[in-house]
Amino acid sequence: FFFVPKLRVIKSGRIMGAVHGVYLKYVGLSAISFAGLQLVIGNIGPMDPLPISSERVLLATSSDSGSSIMSLLRLGAASVLGYSTLLNGTIAALFKLRRGMSLIGKDRERGTIPLWSYVLFFPFHIPTYAYTYIHTTHGTMKPHSKDAADGKPKQNAPKVPVPVASEVQPGWWVGGCYAYQLGKKWAGIVDLTVEFPEKCRPDALRYLCLPTWDGVPCSPEQ
């Protein structure tokens, strides 16, 4: 949430779209990673079973240089896919349990994500950033009409790009991790994201970080 020092109405005619998928995105990532793992190690698909033990891999490397490189590449890919299966499955479970929101290591004072988090949790960060970038740059939505009695979008209205932030009340904005593109100075920011750095932080007089998974509300005490 963002609020600006002066209450001004900007008639953009667009309201920010909802983030879809929530924990199911990570369930899907875990399932896709598991399927890829089974393919790489040869349990399914056309490839021969991969020699998993280190002794068999070393024997393969000493006998045939061509097959040894392929075995090592497959072993590396299997390791990444296996890790992605466990990591994204665990994060999906944490979404449902409403736990582990400090796992990613976000700095609650500066709103930054540490380098170790990107390195350690790369199977989580890379698809998350990729999905959000594609949704922001290529996503479209039907605009909501403020004049409509029921508040629903008009059926025949042409779709418009998804804005990086929406003014929901005069001077009050709801936005995502690309809201810094507006170039505004903010009186205050309430940051509810776990996985994204807050790039508007340098332009805010006040900053409150309450990291929560998508769909998990803050507690009344917070």
Q: Give residue-wise pLDDT tens across range 84-137.
A: 999 999 999 999 899 999 999 999 999 999 999 999 999 999 999 999 999 889
pLDDT above 90 as % of the chain:
51
| Contact assessment for residue 174 and residue 1, using Cβ atoms and an 8 Å cutoff | yes
Q: Give residue-wise pLDDT tens across range 34-44.
A: 999 999 988 89
- Does residue 68 register a pLDDT over 90? no
SS3 for the chain is: CEECCCCCCCCCCCCCCCCCCCHHHHHHHHHHHHHHHHHHCCCCCCCCCCCCCHHHHHHHHHHCHHHHHHHHHHHHHHHHHHHHHHHHHHHHHHHHHCCCCCCCCCCCCCCCCCHHHHHHCHHHHHHHHHHHHHHHHHCEECCCCCCCCCCCCCCCCCCEECCCEEEEECCEEEECCCHHHHCCCECEEEECCCCCCCCCHHHECCEEECCCCCCCCCCCCC
Band of pLDDT at residue 67, cut at 50, 70 and 90: low
What does the mean pLDDT of the chain come to?
Answer: 81
Which stretch of 24-28, 140-144, 174-178 has the lowest confidence by average pLDDT? 140-144
d(CA 171, CA 9): 7
- Does residue 53 register a pLDDT over 60? no
Q: Burial of 8 by CB count in 10 Å (0-12 exposed, 13-18 middle, 19+ buried)?
A: exposed
The backbone torsions φ and ψ at residue 116, rounded to the nearest 5 degrees and listed phi first, read: -60, -30
Q: Burial of 152 by CB count in 10 Å (0-12 exposed, 13-18 middle, 19+ buried)?
A: exposed
Q: Give residue-wise pLDDT tens across range 142-159.
A: 776 655 555 565 667 788
pLDDT at position 152, please? 61
pLDDT at position 49, please? 81
- Does residue 54 register a pLDDT over 90? no
For residue 186, what are the β-bridge partners? 204
Q: Give residue-wise pLDDT tens across range 200-221.
A: 999 999 999 999 998 888 877 7
